[in-house]
Amino acid sequence: MTPSRWLIFSGALLIFAGLLWPLLAKWGLGKLPGDIVIERGNFRLYLPVTTSILVSLILSLLFWLWRK
C-alpha cells in the first residue's frame, strides 16, 4: 500500500471512529478504570490510557486473524 493510500485509509478510519464514539461511550468505553481525567476550572484534560490499550489489543487480534 502506498503512503498516500495509507494516509487516506487512516483518515477514513479516524472519521469512522469519531462517528461511532457516542455509541461506544454508552457502552462505557472511555470511562474505564485507568483513564485519566483532570478538570480545573474551564480546562479539561482527558487521557484514555486503559481505553487505548484495550482498543490496541482488539485491533491487533483482528489484524492477526485477518492475516491467517
User: pLDDT tens-digit profile of 9-36?
Assistant: 888 988 988 888 788 778 777 788 999 9
pLDDT value at position 60? Answer: 92
Percent of the chain with pLDDT over 90: 29
For residue 57, give Cα distances in angstroms to 14, 25, 32, 52, 66: 17, 18, 15, 9, 14
Distance CA 1, CA 15 (A): 20
C-alpha cell at 61: 487480534
DSSP 66: H
Contact 31, 21 (CB under 8 A): no
How high is the pLDDT of residue 1?
A: 67
Amino acid letter, residue 67: R
